[in-house]
Structure 1
Amino acid sequence: MKISAFLFALFFSLPVLARADMVDRVVAIVNDEVITLSEVNEEGKAVLQRVAENVPASQLEDALQEARKTVIEKMIEKKIMLQEAEKANISVSDEEVQMALDRILERNATSTEQLQEEIARLGMTEAQFRENLKQQVLSSKLVNLEIRSKVIIPEDKIIDYYDTHYTERVEEGGYYLLQIGIGLSGGSASGTDGAAGKEAARKKAEEIRAMAVAGKDFKALAQEYSDLPSAADGGDIGVLRKEEMPGAMYEVISRTPPGQLTEIIETGAGYQFFKVLSGQEGQILTKVPYESVKDDIYDTLYQQEMEGRFAEWLKNKKSLSYIKIL
């Protein structure tokens, strides 16, 4: 279930409260705090267990050592985050923890009972889980204060992303096309039955073209009626150059303005007609309207900026901290 992946990530990303009664040894120092081996084993037990179950015995010791190094690095980063939150006098109330818990349940469409089962499966108590969640909320508040409030995505950056990902330049002699093709009934044009099949195919093509002319969505019509492989893509066959098209096809396409439908042409297998999306040298073809994807692009760029700034912020905080791995 989806909640399992979430809980695993949360379990691995925040310190667990349970500690061994006997502290075996200190494995890292972060400013004035320490991390012990027992804490590492407790924090990373799900990961370590997975390594133990999947790595051959001959490689197990090295694999466990590498896994512990990864856990230690994560714990060092979390120590720094929590220390910075304390410096900034950031706190989290029980009500905020409950709100975060409610969001988890809603986002994963799960019940409290199911959540408790997953928590137990990970070897945690509900109190431990709530404390981990509290620390996650604390970290989120710190990120809001230090980073998120300072991220600005200018309009020109959104437009640049749109031009790169949602437009296509049609090169010289190229035509961006959609197609609909109707095959001959019985697959042959010879004889009386063949003539009837041709007539039926022609009539069907004319009816579909008429629907397109009347404003029906061309791609939807292609998906529903076209007999060609391109139907799965809404008739989209991309950009074709003159030399890539049969003569009859190029003849009707070259005289059709962008945005318009060609005449119906006969082929050896039936009848086809096309919608010319673009056909001018150097013309920019818009795949989707800018306004329809503007918010999505903003979210994407915002997330990228956040991740980059956070990585830089954390790197700087680590460089200013006393960190020693023993």
Structure 2
Amino acid sequence: MRRISVFSAARGVAALICFTFVTLFTTPLPLQAAQLVDKVVAVVNNEIITLSELNEEGKTVFKRIAATTPANQLEDTLMHAREDILDSLIDKRLIAQKAAENHIRVADSEVDAALDSTIRRNGITKEMLLVKLAEAGLDEATYRSTLRSQILQSKLVGAEVHSKIVITEDMIQEHYREQYTSKIANGAYYLLQMGFSWETPDGGDQSSATLYANKADALKRAERIHKLVVAGQDFGALAQKYSDLPSAEDGGDLGTFLLDDMASDMRSAVADLNNGEVSEIIETHSGYQFFKVLSAGEDALVEKASYESVREEIRSALFEVEAERTYEKWVKELKDKAYIQKL
């Protein structure tokens, strides 16, 4: 339910605006004073947003639109841009009002820290930043004001939205089951593959010393990485970095195979392996390979990654989704309770 005091104040502002407009058109003013009059484009509770604020907020966007939009589309494009920017200003004003209500403030030192962080993160000096701002039609004061608004919003959203989001262990586990596990049919093997190829000399000479040296080098690489995998290092990460096969892009992931569908050398390497075991190195016609069995057996469950290795990643992803949903709901509730009028 909207508070009567908010409505009364808002209506008072609206009435004052109307009175001001009537006065302006009925009372003679010096030319200089008339030029100082600003137009009100929206009322947000007991505050106004002026045309000059709208133009200042959108000047970079308007400039880009004017430079890139065909003349026959310019008016409509600018109109839609102004509407979007006005909506953004209304949201900012609502957030600022809510922050004031909650006694949330942003100190100058916090703005200074945010400015310094921007400079360090981009590897530039303050002078270089000011040049880039000028190129975009902005000055330091405007940029600091933007930073202040962002910090204020972050504080308020943290208190009003993020602090109320709870990601439970059950939610994480459910996402893990849906996205990181799958069942395979009875008799199938879910395999990871690693391969190390050798280069055949020009002319295809299969007996040259060069070929022998190339094969020895490939075997040496295969043995070194095989030891790392057996010692417990991540197969997928090693495959992406060292494997010569196309499957390397997917961390060596080959998917599922029935024994009868495998090549003879692959079948002999994995047939007797249990879940999680790594095969010996085998020689193929063009290199050395070994495999890891992720899952095998009746109704086996394939885990693309261990739960612990992706738990925090899943939590963060779920939090981001929930934060966006909750924020949109929160802003809608702010608007529903507020007096907003576009003029």
Q: TM-score range by the shorter chain?
A: 0.7 to 0.9
**2:148 aligned to 106, 110, 134, which one?**
134
User: Where do 5+ consecutive residues of structure 2 fail to align?
Assistant: 1-34
> 1:173-184, aligned counterparts within 5 Å?
173-181=187-195
Find the counterpart in structure 2 of residue 123 from structure 1.
137
Find the counterpart in structure 1 of residue 179 from structure 2.
165
Percent identity over paired residues: 41
Larger mean CA deviation between 100-109 and 258-267 belongs to 258-267
- Supply the distance in 1 between the matched residues of 2:153 and 2:224 (Cα, whole angstroms): 60
Query: Are 1:279 and 2:306 counterparts?
Result: no
Q: Is the 8 A contact 1:202 1:271 kept in 2?
A: no
> 1:238-253, aligned counterparts within 5 Å?
238-242=255-259, 244-246=261-263, 249-250=266-267, 252-253=269-270
Find the counterpart in structure 1 of residue 116 from structure 2.
102
- Supply the distance in 2 between the matched residues of 1:224 and 1:123 (Cα, whole angstroms): 45
Find the counterpart in structure 2 of residue 56 from structure 1.
70
CA deviation vs aligned residue, 1:214-235 (integer Å, no higher than 9, x gap): 7365557756775533345453
Find the counterpart in structure 2 of residue 229 from structure 1.
246
- Supply the distance in 2 between the matched residues of 1:81 and 1:191 (Cα, whole angstroms): 75
Q: Is the 8 A contact 1:222 1:231 kept in 2?
A: yes
Deviation at 1:44, TM superposition (A): 0.7
- Supply the distance in 1 between the matched residues of 2:141 and 2:294 (Cα, whole angstroms): 60
Q: Is the 8 A contact 1:172 1:280 kept in 2?
A: yes
Deviation at 1:158, TM superposition (A): 1.9
- Supply the distance in 1 between the matched residues of 2:109 and 2:240 (Cα, whole angstroms): 51
Say what the alpha-carbon RMSD is for the aligned residues: 3.6
Distance 1:36 1:275, change over 3 A: same
- Supply the distance in 1 between the matched residues of 2:238 and 2:151 (Cα, whole angstroms): 49
Q: Which amino acid aligns with 1:60?
A: L
Q: SS in structure 1 opposite 2:54? A: helix
Find the counterpart in structure 2 of residue 79 from structure 1.
93
Find the counterpart in structure 1 of residue 16 from structure 2.
none
Find the counterpart in structure 1 of residue 61 from structure 2.
47
- Supply the distance in 1 between the matched residues of 2:296 and 2:181 (Cα, whole angstroms): 14
CA deviation vs aligned residue, 1:260-302 (integer Å, no higher than 9, x gap): 3445666555664432222223323333333333233222222
Distance 1:94 1:175, change over 3 A: same
> 1:311-322, aligned counterparts within 5 Å?
311-322=328-339
Deviation at 1:66, TM superposition (A): 0.7
Q: Which amino acid aligns with 1:238?
A: G
Q: Is the 8 A contact 1:184 1:270 kept in 2?
A: yes
Distance 1:274 1:31, change over 3 A: same
Q: Which amino acid aligns with 2:322?
A: E
Q: SS in structure 2 opposite 1:153? A: coil
CA deviation vs aligned residue, 1:147-172 (integer Å, no higher than 9, x gap): 22222221221222233333343343
> 1:190-201, aligned counterparts within 5 Å?
193=207
- Supply the distance in 1 between the matched residues of 2:227 and 2:335 (Cα, whole angstroms): 64
Find the counterpart in structure 1 of residue 12 from structure 2.
none
Q: Which amino acid aligns with 1:300?
A: A
Q: Is the 8 A contact 2:200 2:206 kept in 1?
A: no
Q: Which amino acid aligns with 1:73?
A: D
Number of residue pairs the alignment of both structures matches? 306
Q: Is the 8 A contact 1:205 1:272 kept in 2?
A: no
Q: Is the 8 A contact 2:197 2:286 kept in 1?
A: yes
Find the counterpart in structure 1 of residue 321 from structure 2.
304
Deviation at 1:52, TM superposition (A): 1.6
Q: Is the 8 A contact 1:184 1:198 kept in 2?
A: no
Q: Is the 8 A contact 2:191 2:292 kept in 1?
A: yes
Find the counterpart in structure 1 of residue 105 from structure 2.
91
Distance 1:201 1:281, change over 3 A: farther
Q: Is the 8 A contact 1:48 1:67 kept in 2?
A: yes
Q: Is the 8 A contact 2:181 2:301 kept in 1?
A: yes
Q: Which amino acid aligns with 2:116?
A: D
Q: Which amino acid aligns with 2:134?
A: A
- Supply the distance in 2 between the matched residues of 1:272 and 1:226 (Cα, whole angstroms): 9
Find the counterpart in structure 1 of residue 222 from structure 2.
208
Larger mean CA deviation between 237-246 and 274-283 belongs to 237-246
- Supply the distance in 1 between the matched residues of 2:161 and 2:116 (Cα, whole angstroms): 26
Find the counterpart in structure 1 of residue 340 from structure 2.
323
Q: SS in structure 2 opposite 1:281? A: coil
- Supply the distance in 1 between the matched residues of 2:131 and 2:105 (Cα, whole angstroms): 29
- Supply the distance in 2 between the matched residues of 1:224 and 1:85 (Cα, whole angstroms): 49
Q: Is the 8 A contact 1:178 1:237 kept in 2?
A: yes
Q: Is the 8 A contact 1:23 1:36 kept in 2?
A: no
Q: SS in structure 2 opposite 1:129? A: helix
- Bigger CA radius of gyration: 2
> 1:252-267, aligned counterparts within 5 Å?
252-262=269-279
Deviation at 1:54, TM superposition (A): 1.8
